[in-house]
Amino acid sequence: MAPFRKWHVEFEEGGGRHVADPPGYSATARDSGSVTSTAEKRKANETAKRQAFLMAKARAPFKQVAFMCFMMYMSGTSIQIFSLMMTISGIAGPIQAMLKSGEVFPADPQGKLDTFSPRVVYCIIHAAQLGFALNRLNAMGLMPTHASDWVSALAVPRVQEFASGGVGLE
């Protein structure tokens, strides 16, 4: 005697469902409805968390930049080894960071994560440091922003006439 079973579902391949789906039936159509599984929800949360993590990562240099700017401010605008080192690292750091931002925010191979926005934020923060550093450089007088910095382009003019009193005995 067969065991009493009200209903059962065969999950094994080929088991219990050999009947073809009716026309117009879509197995995936069930998922699009309000009906979601717990696993799917978990999956979505994970993506959001990863996105938030990216943004946090993008904002992370802010404190470092602020500290760097403070350091640059404190080192002053006089031309000394310390202020020059601070300013040069203040310029070189953001440039390097921006150039390497692609490595910091690699593109998501599944295309589920938005890496562009955090990368932009990241670059803006570093650009702010670069801007501040350039401002310090300018305050030090090391930016070629005056005509006097381009005097090598001003050649000595050639004279068109020649006049001489000659050499003679006094």
Partner 1 sequence: MGPAVRHLIGLALLAPLACAMFEDQAGKYDWRRTFIGAPTAAALHSRKPRLSVCTRPGVLATLNLRDGEVWWRHLLDDEGGVDGMAVIEKIGVVVTLSGGGRRLRAWDQLEGALRWEEAVGRGDGGGPSAMVDLVRNDGSADQPVVAVMAGREVKLFAATDGEEIWSAVVSDAPALDAGELGAGDGEIVAATAHTGSGRLRVVSLSVESGAILSEHSETLQQGLATELVIGRMSVGVLSSDYKHVCTTMIKGQQSATCTSVEELLPGKPRRGSLYQAGNRFLVALRGTENNIAALLPASGSSISSTQKYEGVTAATAVLTVDEKSLLGIVGSADDGQGIFFKMVDVTTGEVVHEEFADLHLHGTVGPTKHVESAFLGRYNRKDGTTGFRALLVGGDDSLSLIQQGQVVWSKDEALGSVQSSLFIDPPNAVPGVANLPKGDLLKKIKAQILSLKVQFSLNTEQEKLELMDMKQALSGKNAPLRDPNGSRKYIISATASGKLYALHNGDGRVVWSRCLSQAPFPNHVLLSRHSHDPNEAPQLLLVRLGGPGPSTILTVNAHTGAVSEETVPFGIQKIVQLPGVIRDGPAEQHMFLFVDDSSGYPEAYLSPNLPETRAWLKEVYKQIHFWRSDKGNGTMAGYGVVNGDVDATTGHVQLSDLWSLSFHSPILEIATRDTFDPVHSFVKILGDRTLKFKYLNPNTAFVASGPAFGVPSEELDRESIELTVTVLDTVTGRVLFRQVHRGARGPVKAVFSQHWIVYHYWSLKNQRYQMSAMELYDSGHQGISVLDVMLSEGPNETLSSHQPVPLEVLRSSYFVSNAVKTLTTTKTSKGITTQRVLIGTAADQVYAMDKRFLDPRRPKGRKPTEAREERLIPYSENLYMYPTMYATQNKDVLGLKVSGWCFVCRLKCECLWFMLASIAAT
Q: Kindly list the residues in this chain that would bind partner 1 in the complex (CB under 8 A).
A: 79, 140-151, 153-169
Terminal alpha carbon distance of the chain: 147
Q: Least distance (Å) from partner 1 to the CB of residue 140?
A: 7
Question: Closer to partner 1 at the Cβ: 11 or 162?
Answer: 162
Least distance to partner 1, CB of residue 91, Å: 13
b/e map of 19-33 (b: 16 or more CB within 10 Å)? eeeeeeeeeeeeeee
Least Å distance, CB 89 to partner 1, is: 16
The type of residue at 16 is: G
Q: Closer CB to partner 1, residue 111 or residue 166?
A: 166
- CB of 44: closest distance to partner 1 in angstroms? 55
Largest CA distance in the chain: 147
Burial class of residue 62 in the structure, from the number of CB atoms within 10 Å of its CB (0-12 exposed, 13-18 middle, 19+ buried):
middle
Closer CB to partner 1, 22 or 165, in the complex: 165
Q: How far is the CB of 96 from partner 1 (least distance, A)?
A: 21
Rank residues 60 and 142 by Cβ distance to partner 1 and give the closer one.
142
Contact (Cβ atoms closer than 8 angstroms) between residue 1 and residue 7:
no
> Smaller CB distance to partner 1: residue 116 or 150?
150
Closest to 129 measured CA to CA, from 162, 86, 160? 86
